[in-house]
């Protein structure tokens, strides 16, 4: 269908009329006629027959549900990790009055005001007493009595900005945008195209330095008009189901971090990935035959370019049948994988949902109780890579368990991780079609009336389309976890819904080899990050077409510190390995990968922190600096944690660029030691061989000597990189890098020129060998370790001083400048 440019309700009407040829009948829920207090919240019966339930499900989270029929469905969600329990509410007022006020039982914090007539409406106040969400009286809560669509509009300030919404090929702030949530296979998507692969209907609002968030938990096609149609309001709704949304008030501080912490507490946090999955990954569609895979692996080792992961795309299979190996191209896969493991590589294989319809194919025969069916009850068939296929119904728990069990053979062969693709779900447009093939062609996925189990709530594909890919990732994650409980699964998915982070990493699909796509990758990845999905990446160099040497090199630098660093390319492109373009590009690519390996201890620590806090490793500037207006729309820089500022070059021919340094902190050039005050934009040098990178004064970062893979790195000591100039500190998280065994933390405190290091009494993992101070203007007058003066070498080029440490115990280091 064409991109929508009309009012949201009219857009829904047009779509539904196209689907059903039935007229729509929009109506508001009307005035409140009865109020009832229950264990699940406060319920409001309305004149239309609809019922609304309002509940406080956490001290700073309000949930609103509206059922057009007046009967609520079962309280079930694919997004929610643990169903929230309603907290006690105090109700002031009744249906006879014009207002009803709901408060937490303790009388403080969040307050909800209900206007009872002429139409039900809600206003939510945060813990600081300020209103954050106010229904627009000109567009009250409404539903389509014929087709069941639902919608609500909220008043907005002209300067309120919106972030998140998952994977969107849009600028960093999504104000003034109209967005659709409908997972779509969109290879070579252009900047601004919407929707694409992922649907995460959650956003964080920012106004005057304060935030709140909204999550619409509805798996139908949904939409968000964030002031595009009418700047004074934003509107969201869905084509069916209940209007079920959460308001995250951000606590008394109204901080973005509080909003994301509450959202990830609801939808779950990503588990700590295996360390090898954070290292450099090399992929292509496809590395075949096995001799080519061996050649790629050996070249990495011969050229001393660090790498840990090689991917096998669909070319490794026998006729594209899932969980098979080509007998011609991969005659002995176990020997191949054993040899790769001996070289320090891990292997990830692609697994698509389509099961070839072939009675001689044992997996097809075994799955006949678990496939998606047509509206008529027949097994649904559509064409993808193997030809005509059937498709597991991943909304059926037994289908998930069966599919998860299929990974046993590959695990026994030595496969380390799994990549779920084509799971929007995407299928091929039938060749007999006489219609033009569109970007968002309705024939590129299952028919909307196809049938799913819905975990015991049978429904149509229109309802479960957006969770199909996420539930495939779930089947993979849970299956591998059951088969290898002593290891951490690595799963990568192209499609997903809110909560997908519990099961999988995400990449941004089939991007293009253009400078526009390089620039677009940063707001796309930070948008996913602040939508609760921390393990994200984009194909380096662009999947489609072949990048220039300069573009590939700059992309390699830009991705060096993103959570996932993977080169991947299409079958019809030129080779795409770090050495492809010769010198000087090979050395620059090597240096970018080496930078990642130096900083892997910091990245791993950030992932361990995310499990506890929900804060992603990759962050837009506004997330850490919400009161800095200039930071609110910076889309071509990112933060790694709170301590590293990364400013990649994203335009051809540039050897310098303007960098904005967030207000309130001082920043130090990683390479030269130059200092920059926060709150300013400065033009900095950016020669081809350098990624502009800056460390925050007051930071203490764990780093490592360069190694060729993580197994080799585990034998090397750590180095703490210290940026003096402000009080602060940091910490180092360590464990075995996989599994669920012991872990330990090293804490670092900075006070003035004194560094205090707190080490475990009994260390099991890498010891801290030295401190490296960055950004010193001159040779220190004295350096004292545990009270004793030592000689420390000063590098006049990098303005760094390296200080060796005793092998164990707590220690103080003082640098007298």
In which element (H, E) is residue 624 found? helix 621-624
731, 762 contact by CB (below 8 A): no
Mutual angle of helices 333-342 and 290-302, in 10-degree steps: 0
The two three-digit tokens of residue 18, written as one number: 């196209």
* Contact residues for 10 (Cβ-Cβ < 8 A; gap 6+): none
Distance CA 230, CA 303 (A): 57
Label residue 138 exposed, middle or buried (CB < 10 Å: 0-12, 13-18, 19+): exposed
- Which is it for the CA torsion 327, 332, 337, 343, positive or negative? negative
Question: Which residue's entry shows tokens 């597991």?
Answer: 392
Distance CA 489, CA 736 (A): 15
Q: How far apart are the first and last CA of the chain?
A: 66
682, 697 contact by CB (below 8 A): no
- Exposure string for 658-692, b = 16+ CB within 10 A, e = fewer: ebbbbbebbbbbbbebbbbebeeeeebebebebbb
* Contact residues for 103 (Cβ-Cβ < 8 A; gap 6+): 89, 90, 92, 109, 110, 111, 112
* Annotated catalytic residue within 424, 512, 610, 624: 424
510 catalytic, yes or no?
A: yes
421 catalytic, yes or no?
A: yes
Q: How far is CA 401 from CA 193, 477, 613, 744, in A?
A: 35, 10, 30, 35
The two three-digit tokens of residue 695, written as one number: 């460390």
649, 692 contact by CB (below 8 A): yes
* Annotated catalytic residue within 510, 512, 610, 665: 510
* Annotated catalytic residue within 313, 421, 512, 665: 421
Residue 377 — φ and ψ, nearest 5°? 95, 5
Dihedral class, residue 532 (left if φ above 0, else alpha if ψ from -120 to 50, else beta): left
The two three-digit tokens of residue 774, written as one number: 């960055």
- Exposure string for 709-732, b = 16+ CB within 10 A, e = fewer: bbeebeeeebbbbbbbbeebbbeb
723, 774 contact by CB (below 8 A): yes
Residue 315 — φ and ψ, nearest 5°? -65, -15
Q: How far is CA 462 from CA 118, 167, 220, 380, 495, in A?
A: 33, 20, 6, 15, 16
- Exposure string for 775-803, b = 16+ CB within 10 A, e = fewer: bbeeebeebbbeeeeeebeeeeebbbbeb
Catalytic residues, by residue number, are: 421, 424, 510
């Amino acid at each position: 269908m064409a991109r929508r440019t009309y009012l949201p309700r009219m857009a829904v009407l047009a779509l539904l009329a196209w689907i059903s040829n039935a007229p729509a009948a929009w109506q508001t829920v009307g005035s409140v006629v009865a109020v009832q207090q229950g264990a699940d919240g406060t319920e409001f019966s309305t004149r239309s027959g609809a019922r609304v339930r309002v509940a406080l499900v956490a001290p700073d989270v309000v949930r609103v549900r509206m059922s057009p029929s007046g009967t609520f469905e079962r309280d079930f969600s694919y997004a929610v990790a643990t169903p929230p329990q309603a907290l006690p509410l105090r109700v002031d007022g009744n249906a006879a009055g014009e207002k009803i006020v709901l408060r937490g039982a303790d009388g403080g914090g969040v307050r909800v005001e209900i206007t009872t007539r002429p139409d039900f409406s809600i206003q939510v106040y945060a813990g600081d007493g300020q209103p954050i969400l106010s229904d627009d009286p000109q567009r009250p809560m409404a539903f389509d009595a014929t087709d069941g669509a639902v919608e609500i509009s909220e008043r907005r300030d002209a300067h309120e900005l919106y972030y998140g919404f998952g994977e969107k090929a849009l600028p960093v702030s999504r104000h003034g945008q109209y967005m659709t949530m409908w997972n779509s296979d969109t290879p070579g998507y252009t900047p601004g195209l919407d929707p694409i692969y992922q649907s995460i209907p959650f956003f964080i609002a920012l106004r005057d330095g304060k935030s709140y968030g909204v999550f619409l938990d509805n798996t139908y096609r949904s939409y968000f008009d964030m002031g595009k149609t009418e700047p004074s309001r934003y509107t969201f709704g869905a084509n069916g189901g209940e209007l079920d949304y959460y308001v995250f008030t951000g606590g008394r501080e109204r901080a973005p971090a509080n909003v994301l912490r509450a959202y990830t507490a609801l939808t779950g946090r990503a588990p700590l990935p295996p360390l090898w999955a954070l290292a450099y990954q090399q992929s292509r569609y496809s590395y075949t035959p096995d001799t080519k895979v061996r050649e790629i692996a050996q070249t990495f080792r011969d050229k001393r370019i660090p790498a840990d992961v090689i991917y096998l795309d669909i070319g490794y299979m026998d006729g594209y049948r899932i969980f098979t190996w080509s007998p011609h191209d991969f005659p002995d896969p176990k020997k191949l994988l054993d040899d790769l493991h001996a070289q320090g590589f891990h292997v990830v294989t692609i697994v698509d949902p389509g099961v070839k319809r072939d009675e001689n194919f044992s997996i097809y025969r075994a799955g006949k109780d678990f496939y998606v069916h047509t509206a008529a009850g027949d097994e649904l068939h559509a064409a993808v890579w193997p030809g005509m296929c059937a498709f597991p119904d991943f909304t059926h728990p037994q289908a998930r368990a069966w599919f998860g069990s299929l990974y046993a053979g590959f695990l026994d062969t030595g496969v380390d991780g799994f990549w779920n693709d084509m799971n929007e779900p995407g299928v091929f447009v039938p060749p007999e079609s006489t219609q033009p093939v569109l970007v968002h062609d309705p024939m590129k996925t299952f028919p909307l009336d196809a049938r799913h189990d819905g975990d015991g709530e049978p429904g149509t594909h229109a309802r479960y389309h957006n969770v199909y890919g996420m539930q495939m990732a779930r089947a993979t994650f849970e299956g591998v976890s059951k088969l290898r409980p002593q290891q951490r699964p690595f799963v990568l998915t192209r499609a997903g819904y809110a909560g997908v982070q519990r099961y999988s990493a995400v990449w941004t699909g089939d991007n293009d080899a253009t400078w526009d796509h390089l620039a677009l990758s940063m707001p796309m990845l930070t948008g996913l990050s602040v939508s609760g999905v921390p393990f994200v990446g984009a194909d380096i160099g662009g999947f489609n077409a072949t990048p220039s040497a300069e573009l590939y090199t700059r992309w390699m630098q830009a991705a060096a510190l993103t959570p996932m660093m993977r080169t991947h390319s299409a079958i019809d492109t030129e080779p795409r390995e770090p050495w492809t373009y010769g010198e000087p590009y090979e050395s620059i690519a090597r240096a970018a990968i080496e930078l990642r390996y130096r900083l892997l201890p910091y990245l791993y620590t950030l992932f361990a922190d995310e499990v506890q806090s929900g804060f992603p490793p990759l962050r837009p500037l506004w997330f850490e600096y919400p009161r800095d207006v200039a930071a609110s729309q910076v889309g071509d820089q990112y933060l790694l944690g709170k301590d590293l500022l990364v400013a990649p070059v994203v335009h051809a021919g540039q050897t310098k660029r303007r960098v904005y340094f967030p207000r309130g902190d001082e920043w130090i050039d990683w390479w030269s030691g130059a200092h920059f005050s926060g709150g300013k934009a400065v033009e900095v040098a950016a020669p081809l061989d350098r990624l502009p990178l800056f460390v925050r004064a007051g930071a203490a970062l764990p780093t490592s000597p360069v190694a060729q893979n993580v197994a080799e790195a585990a034998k090397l000591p750590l180095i703490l990189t210290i940026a003096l100039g402000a009080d602060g500190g940091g910490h180092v998280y360590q464990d075995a890098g996989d599994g669920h065994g012991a872990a330990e933390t090293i804490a670092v405190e900075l006070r003035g020129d004194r560094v205090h290091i707190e080490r475990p009494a009994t260390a099991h993992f890498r010891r801290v060998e030295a401190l490296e101070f960055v950004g010193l203007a001159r040779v220190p007058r004295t350096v004292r370790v545990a009270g004793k003066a030592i000689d420390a070498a000063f590098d006049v080029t990098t303005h760094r001083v390296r200080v060796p440490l005793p092998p164990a115990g707590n220690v103080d280091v003082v640098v007298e400048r």
